[in-house]
């Protein structure tokens, strides 16, 4: 199925990995990349449940855009353990304009494929996807 705005297809693997993260909890995070030549969104990296936020932040390149899904665990005010699924649109200021355009126009269509995202975050530099931001958006 092609994306009407930018013509990017979504590889089946993307949806599979997301469902595994949601139901079976076998991953901490999934990082997606748009392969321009193949004209589709593919899975670039998958993180183990034991990996932390810092490992996740390290996988995102500083000069290129990515999409990511992160399973964030936290404790609420009433002292119960909860987790929320975050969708992060990583578009650093230093990336190429063409790259930012493609990712921005394909984002909506891609998100619709992933059913069950609770919070969406857009980050243009590392401070915007800091742990403090996660915590404040989780509540």
Binding positions for another protein, rule: CB under 8 A:
54, 93-94, 125-127, 130-131
Nearer to another protein, 54 or 78 (CB): 54
47's CB contacts (< 8 A; 6+ apart) are: 27, 28, 29, 30, 31, 55, 56, 59
**Residue 96 beta carbon to another protein: minimum distance, rounded to whole angstroms:** 15
Q: Do 95 and 65 contact (CB within 8 A), yes or no?
A: yes
**Residue 55 beta carbon to another protein: minimum distance, rounded to whole angstroms:** 13
CA angle 11, 134, 79 (to 5 degrees): 120
**Residue 127 beta carbon to another protein: minimum distance, rounded to whole angstroms:** 5
Nearer to another protein, 16 or 131 (CB): 131
**Residue 131 beta carbon to another protein: minimum distance, rounded to whole angstroms:** 7
Nearer to another protein, 2 or 131 (CB): 131
Strand order in the sheet with 40-47: 9-10, 40-47, 29-35, 66-75, 81-90, 119-123
């Amino acid at each position: 199925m092609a994306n009407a705005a930018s013509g990017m297809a979504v590889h089946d693997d993307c949806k599979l990995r997301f469902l595994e993260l949601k139901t079976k909890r076998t991953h901490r995070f999934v990082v997606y990349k748009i392969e321009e030549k193949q004209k589709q969104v593919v899975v670039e990296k998958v993180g183990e449940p034991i990996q932390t936020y810092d490992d996740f932040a390290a996988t995102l390149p500083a000069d290129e855009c990515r999409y990511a899904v992160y399973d964030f665990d936290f404790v609420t005010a009433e002292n119960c353990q909860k987790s929320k699924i975050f969708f992060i649109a990583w578009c650093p200021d230093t990336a190429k304009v063409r790259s930012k355009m493609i990712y921005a126009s394909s984002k909506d269509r891609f998100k619709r494929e992933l059913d069950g995202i609770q919070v969406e975050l857009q980050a243009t530099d590392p401070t915007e996807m800091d742990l403090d931001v996660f915590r404040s958006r989780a509540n």
